[in-house]
Structure formats: structure tokens, C-alpha cells
Structure 1
Amino acid sequence: MQVKFCGFTQLDDIKAAAKLNADAIGLVFYPPSPRAVTIEQAQILSAAVPAFISVVALVVNMPEDELIELANNVPFDIIQFHGDETPEQCRQLASSVNKRWIKALRVNTEQDTLESVNMQIDNFAASGASSILLDAYHQHKYGGTGARFDWSLIPKDSSLPIILAGGLDAENVAATYDLPIYAVDVSGGIEVDKGKKDATKMRAFMKAVKHDRWQNETLSEPSNISS
């Protein structure tokens, strides 16, 4: 299970996440968000991320010229499109800065079905997405709500690897072990305040994901030692 910690604004929090071997660090470039950072802040934060930990730039309906400016000034690895971008818009925008990309789908428990979620994933896969992120739908927000959606709407046969977000923390992440996902994305569940992470919560989350899952899988493997 891969782990992405998202919504950093503090340098010390970045360093703490790196020491815990988080797989990805997310920076939010959406001004209305309380976790948003400027290009100048992002330059300082990204410089503290060691090699082999991915820096993910979360953008929401960002115009192409702004994305190009961002890419020219901040060394991020992956774009996370978290707005209303269509598959074709994602493809064009990512191509303009030569970056890999993922798309966040906000799953509406009251309206979406397995078929509709799968269809959306297929459309983004056809346009070149590297993965899909599933988050809870909110009428007025593009994410960061801390809410969960109905996990029965997660496809078992997705055409893209699935990242799960929405309302996760160290206490409930164990419930994701049997889901058809390869990564989890957490922000509010590791915070003491919006954009300010809690080192103890980050450590507990990593332990719950990495240690407990490894232990469960090890215990379930058949032994090759003959008696």
C-alpha cells in the first residue's frame, strides 16, 4: 500500500513525513483552500523532499498558462487534477508541461453507480492518466472535506490503479486492506489544524498502513517449511 500525505504548508511537517518514508507529498495550488501554497512557498517545501519521494501538485481548473508557470518554477513530479477537468483537458494540460498525471473523481453516493464510476475511469485511462483518485463528492467543495463515500462503489476491475481518499485516519485505514486499491491519500486525518500536520498522527497512520498490512499478508501466506 502506497501512502500520499497531502496539503502541506509547513517545512517541519515535510521533513517529518520524509523521515516516515511517505511515498508522496501533496502540495495544493488552489487559492480557496486553507491548505493552499504559493509558488514561493512550494519552492521551499519541495526542496526538502528527498529523492524517490514524489511531489504531487494538486490543481483545480487551473489555466494552461498558470500550470506552465507552476511547472517552470516548482519541481513537482505528478499533476493531480482535482477540479472539473475533462479527460481531454487533462491530457492537453499535462502534455503542455510534459508531466504524468492523475485525476480525482468525486464519487456521489446518491447518484453514482459502479458502472458510471467505471465509465469515468475508462475515459481518463484512454486519455493517458497514470492513476485515478476516488474522493467523496461535495456540492460546494473540490476535496479536503474529510468525508467518506460508499466504498462499495470502488470498482474491482478498474482500468487504472485506484488511490483512495476521503475521511481516512490511523483508526479506520485498516478497513481499506481488502479494497481493490493500491494507495491511500490522507490530509485532515493527520492534522492538528488545516495545513498543519501532527507528527504523531502521521507516524500512527504509517504504522497502521505499512506495518499492520505487511503483518497481515505475512500471516496469511502459506508456509513452505515442511515438518
Structure 2
Amino acid sequence: MNAPVRIKFCGLTREADVDLAVALGVDMIGLVFAQRSPRRLDGERAAALRARIPAHIATVALVMDAPADDIARILARVHPDLLQFHGTEPEAFCASFGMPYIKAIALGGADPQDARHLPHAWPSAHALLLDGHAPGEPGGSGQTFDWQRTADAGERRVLLAGGLHPGNVAEAIRRARPWGVDVSSGVEQATGIKDPAKMRAFVAAVRDIDGRLAGRAVPD
């Protein structure tokens, strides 16, 4: 039997949104530190949100081409379980912090032939996040890409991101069969402000299709 599809909610900025994500049983919660992101948190705010996330849910700190000293300060103050690198960080830099990391790969506008080698450039990554935004952008844009391109990652763990929302996540999982799914703008009512109904609907849609594909009993 296949393992359940992991769910990551990213770009949370409010205590109420974190609390609901925890209650819904998501697997990962992403806190954003990328300078150019409208969902960026300062250290104090991030630490307060981190304190509300229980140990069984992974806290992910998202950075983008940040200096090593900045990342070290995030680790010391927020104590995330994983780092997520969203820029041009090479393998050696990502691995230098001695903790699990996710490497985001931007596929929006990228030539499929040129992008095919990218998943193999970070062999130590815990997972690869394939996103629909253009290279050099911070993510959270709501742009999709051809979900079947997850096959380019081979046997690697893939977090599918980019343009997912309650209405399309089931089809995305059906087509791509990812290790996990990542959503930010697709469960928002405004940038950085999550929508409780969309959060619930997204989790319900994932659990439903996940159970059906794995042959688990799922109520109609």
C-alpha cells in the first residue's frame, strides 16, 4: 500500500492559520524568510508561529539566496526541522548546514530539455519541490506547469507546487503521483492570509484522492 501524500501549507503568517493547519493534520508548515516574498516573516514573528507547531509536524524555513549568516540566525531563533532553498544555491551550500533540506526547482518558462538535469544537481536533498514559477522568482505565484514533468525527477521525493488549489489538487495527484503537495496562494483569501474553508477543502481533496488511489476505504 502506498504511503499517504504529504501536505505542506506554506507562507503562513497568522496564529489562527497555523492553528488550523495543525488541527487539519498537515505534514509540513512553511515559514517564509525570502527577502522578496510578500509573506516574509521577521525573526520574532516566525519564532512565535514556530512555537505553535507541534513536534509531529515539520516546520520548514524557506530562504532564497540568503547569506549563510542569515540562515544561521534563522536556525538559532526558529529551530526549523527542514530548510527549503528557493534560489540558485548549489548542493554544497545547501548541505553545509547539516540538516535536511528541500530544493525548489522553478519550471515555469524553463525549457524541458534544459531543466531535465536539474533534479540530479542536489543529490543530498531530502525532497525536490517542483514549482510553476519562473526561475529567479520567490514562488507563491499560483502558476502551474505540466504535472507529468515530475517524471524528470526519477525516483526522488517530489513535492508538487505551483497553482494548486482545492479544485485541481486531486487531478494533479492523479497525474503526477507525487510524494507530497505544497500550497500557498491556492488556500488564501489575500496574500499571506489563509482562507479556512479553502484550507479544509484542500486537505479533504488530498485525503480523498490519496485514499482512492491507494485502495483505502474513503467515504463518498
Which letter does structure 1 place at the counterpart of 2:107? Answer: V
1:199 equivalent to 2:203? Answer no
Kindly report which structure 2 residues correspond to 1:1-227, keeping only aligned pairs within 5 A, or say none.
1-92=5-96, 94=97, 98-113=98-113, 116-125=114-123, 128-138=124-134, 141-155=137-151, 158-176=154-172, 177-218=174-215
Contact 2:119 2:153 in 1 (8 A): no
Contact 1:25 1:53 in 2 (8 A): yes
Q: Could you say if the C-alpha distance between residues 206 and 191 of structure 1 is closer, same or farther in structure 2, counting changes exceeding 3 Å?
A: same
Instruction: List structure 1 runs of 4+ shifted beyond 6 angstroms.
Output: none
CA apart distance, 1:211: 2.5
CA apart distance, 1:75: 1.7
CA apart distance, 1:140: 5.7
Cα distance between partner residues in 2 of 1:182 and 1:74: 26
Cα distance between partner residues in 2 of 1:195 and 1:130: 26
CA RMSD of aligned residues (A): 1.8
Alignment TM-score, normalising by the size of structure 2: 0.90
Contact 1:169 1:189 in 2 (8 A): yes
Contact 1:168 1:186 in 2 (8 A): yes
Cα distance between partner residues in 2 of 1:159 and 1:141: 26
CA apart distance, 1:210: 0.8
Cα distance between partner residues in 2 of 1:107 and 1:51: 32
- 1:121-146 deviation digits (Å, cap 9, x = unpaired): 11211xx1111000013266221110
Which letter does structure 1 place at the counterpart of 2:24? Answer: L
Cα distance between partner residues in 1 of 2:188 and 2:108: 25
Unaligned runs of 5+ in 2: none
Which letter does structure 1 place at the counterpart of 2:72? Answer: I
Cα distance between partner residues in 2 of 1:141 and 1:81: 12
Classify the secondary structure of the residue corresponding to 2:60.
strand
Unaligned runs of 5+ in 1: 221-227
Classify the secondary structure of the residue corresponding to 1:13.
helix
CA apart distance, 1:160: 1.7
Cα distance between partner residues in 2 of 1:54 and 1:133: 15
Alignment TM-score, normalising by the size of structure 1: 0.87
